[in-house]
């Protein structure tokens, strides 16, 4: 802030704009931490920790993301409204993800069962670019009927 006061000393009333200025040392420090975390996440991925893998890599990514958001994007020093706006977007995205994950897992059994009944070899058909008219539309219609 003091930096700004010096350079903007001759600014008039309407010609002033008070913002937080991040020192260079902090910027470079954050960058070095980010690079270090990238190396850590690459190394961590080499060890097979099973289920934990996703959690570890996502946790590291979230730490990195927070650094970028709070320091590089100044959100830490920003108005509360901007913080709220950003976190609402994260909450809504998370909510959307949770709902579709919850639901697609719930009806996955129907889909798998249907595929086994109908087309036992669905995979190699993946190379056919144009979906054949025959089996494709049938699924959506048949699904509710199976219940």
Rounded Cα–Cα distance for residues 144 and 131 (Å)? 22
Rounded Cα–Cα distance for residues 147 and 141 (Å)? 12
> Does 127 interact with other proteins (rule: CB under 8 A)?
yes
Binding to other proteins in span 37-66, by CB under 8 A: 38-39, 41-42, 45-48, 53, 57-58, 60-61, 64-65
CA-to-CA dists, residue 114 to 105, 109, 111, 117, 119, angstroms: 15, 8, 5, 5, 8
Provide the minimum distance between the beta carbon of 117 and other proteins in the complex, in angstroms, as a whole number: 13
Provide the minimum distance between the beta carbon of 134 and other proteins in the complex, in angstroms, as a whole number: 9
Q: Binder to other proteins among 99, 113, 116, 117 (CB under 8 A)?
A: 99
Q: Binder to other proteins among 2, 25, 76, 79 (CB under 8 A)?
A: 79
Quote the distance between the C-alpha of residue 5 and its chain's center: 38
Binding to other proteins in span 105-124, by CB under 8 A: 105-108, 110-111, 122-123
Rounded Cα–Cα distance for residues 75 and 82 (Å)? 8
Binding to other proteins in span 7-36, by CB under 8 A: 7-8, 10-19, 21-22, 24, 27-28, 30-31, 34-35
Contact 114, 144 (CB under 8 A): no
The beta-carbon contacts of 54-58 under 8 Å, at least 24 apart in sequence, are none
Provide the minimum distance between the beta carbon of 66 and other proteins in the complex, in angstroms, as a whole number: 10
> Does 137 interact with other proteins (rule: CB under 8 A)?
yes
């Amino acid at each position: 802030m003091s930096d700004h006061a010096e350079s903007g000393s001759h600014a008039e009333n309407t010609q002033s704009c008070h913002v937080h200025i991040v020192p260079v040392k902090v910027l470079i420090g954050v960058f070095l931490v980010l690079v270090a975390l990238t190396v850590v996440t690459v190394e961590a991925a080499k060890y097979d920790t099973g289920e934990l893998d996703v959690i570890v890599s996502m946790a590291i990514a979230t730490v990195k993301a927070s650094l970028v958001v709070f320091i590089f994007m100044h959100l830490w020093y920003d108005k509360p409204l901007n913080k709220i706006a950003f976190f609402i977007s994260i909450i809504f995205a998370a909510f959307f993800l949770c709902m579709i994950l919850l639901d697609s897992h719930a009806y996955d059994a129907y889909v798998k069962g249907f595929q086994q009944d109908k087309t036992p070899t669905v995979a190699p058909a993946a190379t056919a670019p144009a979906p054949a008219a025959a089996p494709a539309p049938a699924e959506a219609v048949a699904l509710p009927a199976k219940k």
